[in-house]
Chains A and B, each alone.
Chain A
Amino acid sequence: MNISRRHLMILLPAAAVAWKHVLAGTPADSPNYQMSEHWWGMLIDIPKCIGCGNCVRACQTENDVPDGFFRTWVERYHRSDWHLENPEVISPDGGKEGFPEVQAGEEGMFFFVPKMCNHCADSPCTQVCPVGATFIAPDGVVLIDPEYCLGCAYCVQACPYGCRYIHPTKKVADKCTLCYHRITKGLTTACCEACPTGARQLADLKNPNDPIHEFLKTHTVQVLKPQMATGAKAFYNGLDGSVR
C-alpha cells in the first residue's frame, strides 16, 4: 500500500490521538469499553507455575510498584507428609528472582502459588473504606481512587490475603488493578502476558466464549480462604489444602 504525503498528514494526528489513549489507560480513554459487559477474574493453574518470577517482574515494571511492596508475588510451598497444616513457605523478594533450588533427597511436595488481589465480589476492603475511595467497578475489578484515599489503612487490615499496602511515597492504599489500563483496551494483564507456561489467565466470566467456562466445568477449582466468604475471583486449579 502506497501512502501519499496527503494520507500521512491525516494519519499522523490520528495516530497521535490514539497513542495518548494507549499510554493513559483510564476507562475514559477507552471509549469503546463497556464496563457492564465484563466480569473479570483470574485463573491460576498451580501445576503449571514454575516459579520463574516473570509475572512479579512484569507487574513491577508495568505498574511502577515500589521496592519491597507487591501487587503480585509467588510463594513456594514445601509440604512434607508430617506437616500438612504447617507447611514451609518461602517467597524471597516476592519470588521476583525465582527460588533457590530444591536439594536432592528433600522429602515432601514442592509447588508454587502465585498470589494477587482476588478482586472479591463481596470484598471486605471496600466494605470498610470510610470514604468509598476503594470500590468494585461494574466490571468486577476492585479499584482505588488515589485522589480520594485518606491513607487510613483500614482496607489493609481488612484484606484477608495481604494484598494491600500503603504506597510509601503516595501515602495511599495500593494493590493489583488487574492492569485496568490494559484490560480496558482489550489487552491481557502484564503478569498473564509474561507467564511462559500460561499458569495465569485473565478470565471474563460474562463472556460466553471465554475458555474459563470450559475450564471451570472440567477442573476442580478453589479460591483462597473460602471460609472468608469474600466472593474471591482468583480461581485456583490444583490448590493444596495447606495453602493459606
Chain B
Amino acid sequence: MSGVEGYIYPNEVTLYWSVLIVLYPFITGLVAGAFILASLERVFSVEAVKPTYRLALLTALAFLLVAPLPLVLHLGHPFRSPEMYFTPHDTSAMAMFGYVYMWYLMAVLVFEIWLDYRREIVLLSQTSKGLLRLIYKVMTLGSSNVSARSLHIDDKVGWIVTLVGIPSAFLLHGYVGFIFGSLKANPWWSSPLMPVIFIFSAMVSGIAAVMLLYMATTKLRGLKIDMRCVDKVAMYMFYIFLIDFSLEMLDLVHRVYEADESFRSLNFLVHTKLYFSQIVVQICLGTIVPLVLLFLTQVVKLGEMARKRIYILSGSLALIGVLAMRWNVVIGGQLFSKSFLGYTTYKMALVTREGLLAAIGLTILPLLFLWALVKLLPPWPDKSLHEAATGD
C-alpha cells in the first residue's frame, strides 16, 4: 500500500481528520486568545493595552463566526449537524460544542460588543443614511437611551460579562483540547495537559494576531503605532508563551522519560514524518526563535524600529508555530497505527471539500468578516461622532 510503512490495521490507511480539523482548534484558539487580551484592559485594568481592546473583541467575533465551518464542512452529512443541538449525547465532549459555542457567541462576545458599542450604534443610527441607517437601527435593539446613567449601567454590565467571558474563553478552548486529550485510544492525544496546553497556545496565537492586526491597521490608517501599548502586549505574549513552552516541554519530557509502549512508535514519528513540522517549524522557528527575540526586548534597550520589527517577526512566527502545533496534534495523531507497528501518510487534496483551497478560504474568510465588522463598528475613536454627541 502506498504511503504505509510497517503494519497498520487495514482501516487505518485513510486519515479522517483532515487539514480542516487542524484549522478548527487554530481558529477557536485565536478567538479565545483575542478575548483574553481584551479582558486585560476591561477586568484587570491594564490601561496600556486599551488601543487593542475593541479590535481584539471584533477579531474574536470574526474568527468565532468562522469557527464551526471547518467542522461542518468536514462532516460526512453536514445537514445533520443541527442534531448536535437538538439531540446531544450527554457523554460526548463533541456534543458540548454547540452549547459552548452558542454561549460564548451570544452571551459573551456579541453581548459585550453590543454593550461597548451601544452609544456609537445609537449615534450612527441617527447620523447615517439609507441601508446603513436601517442596519444600525436594528442593532440598537430598540434601546436608544445614551444618557450618562444608562452608559454607566452598560459599563458595569460589560465588566460582568467580561468577567464571565474569561472562564468562558477558557472553556471554549479547553474543551477543544479535551476532545483530543480525553481519547484513551490515542497516546499522542491522551493527556490531561492537553486542554491546558491548548489554552496557553491559544492565548499566544490570539495575542500575536491582535498585535499584528493593530500594527497593520494603524499603519494603514497612517497613524503612529502606540509603542507603549505594543510593548505591553508583547510582554504579555512573552510570559504566556513561556508558560506554554514549559507545559509543552513538560509533556514531552514526561513522555520521553516514561517511555511507555507507544514511545518507540511516537519517537520514530517525531524523527521522521513530523520532523519538519514539529522540530523545525513548531519548536525551533515557531517557539524558540520568537521566545528569544521577545526575551531580547525585555532585557535589552532596543530602538523603536528594532522593537517593531521584532514584534512583527515574533508575532508571525508564533502564529506559524501554533498552527504547526495544531497540525502536529491533529495530523500527527493519525499518522501512526494504534498497533504501534506502522505508519500511514496524509495526502492533502487540493480542490475537494476538505482540501487545501477550502482551508485557505477558511483562513481568509475571518479576515473578510473582520474587515466588514471594522467598517460597521470602527474600533477606533470617531471624531465626527464625538462632535455629533457633544452637539446633542
A binds B: yes
Residues of chain A at the chain B interface (Cβ within 8 Å)? 68-70, 73, 75, 85-91, 93-94, 115, 124, 126-132, 148-154, 156-166, 170-172, 228, 244
> Is the C-beta of B3 less than 8 angstroms from some C-beta in chain A?
no
Contact A172 B94 (CB under 8 A): no
Q: List the B residue with the shortest CB-CB distance to A157.
A: B183
Least Cβ–Cβ distance between B102 and chain A, in angstroms? 15
Residues of chain B at the chain A interface (Cβ within 8 Å)? 7-14, 16-17, 71, 74-77, 80-81, 83-84, 87-89, 91-95, 97, 179, 183-186, 261, 264, 333-334, 337-341
Secondary structure at the B interface, as helix, strand, loop or mixed, is loop
Q: List the B residue with the shortest CB-CB distance to A87.
A: B341
Contact B9 A131 (CB under 8 A): no
Contact A130 B95 (CB under 8 A): yes
> What 10 additional pairs, Cβ within 8 angstroms, besides A124-B183, A129-B92, A172-B76?
A85-B261, A91-B7, A91-B10, A130-B84, A131-B84, A131-B88, A148-B80, A150-B75, A150-B84, A156-B16
Contact B185 A152 (CB under 8 A): no
Which residues of chain B come closer than 8 Å to A149, judged between CB atoms? 76-77, 80
Least Cβ–Cβ distance between A75 and chain B, in angstroms? 8
Contact A148 B94 (CB under 8 A): no
Q: Please, how many angstroms separate the alpha-carbon atoms of A127 and B183 in the complex? A: 10
Contact A160 B184 (CB under 8 A): yes
Q: List the A residue with the shortest CB-CB distance to B83.
A: A131
Q: Please, how many angstroms separate the alpha-carbon atoms of A170 and B68 in the complex? A: 23
Q: Please, how many angstroms separate the alpha-carbon atoms of A115 and B337 in the complex? A: 15
Contact B88 A130 (CB under 8 A): yes
Which residues of chain A come closer than 8 Å to B334, judged between CB atoms? 157
Contact B9 A161 (CB under 8 A): yes
Which residues of chain A come closer than 8 Å to B340, judged between CB atoms? 244
Contact A160 B185 (CB under 8 A): yes
Contact A166 B185 (CB under 8 A): no
Q: List the A residue with the shortest CB-CB distance to B86.
A: A131
Q: Could you say which of B14, B81, B89, B97 has the most chain A C-beta atoms within 10 Å of its C-beta?
A: B89
Q: Please, how many angstroms separate the alpha-carbon atoms of A94 and B138 in the complex? A: 61
Least Cβ–Cβ distance between B30 and chain A, in angstroms? 22
Which residues of chain B come closer than 8 Å to A124, judged between CB atoms? 183-185
Least Cβ–Cβ distance between B342 and chain A, in angstroms? 8
Q: Please, how many angstroms separate the alpha-carbon atoms of A115 and B11 in the complex? A: 11
Q: A90-B7, A115-B9, A130-B95 are in contact. Are A228 and B184 (CB under 8 A)?
A: yes
Which residues of chain A come closer than 8 Å to B339, judged between CB atoms? 89, 162, 244
Which residues of chain A come closer than 8 Å to B261, judged between CB atoms? 85
Least Cβ–Cβ distance between B213 and chain A, in angstroms? 32
Contact B12 A127 (CB under 8 A): no
Contact B11 A165 (CB under 8 A): yes
Contact B183 A162 (CB under 8 A): no
Q: List the B residue with the shortest CB-CB distance to A115.
A: B9
Q: Please, how many angstroms separate the alpha-carbon atoms of A228 and B74 in the complex? A: 28
Q: Please, how many angstroms separate the alpha-carbon atoms of A68 and B4 in the complex? A: 14
Which residues of chain B come closer than 8 Å to A86, judged between CB atoms? 264, 341
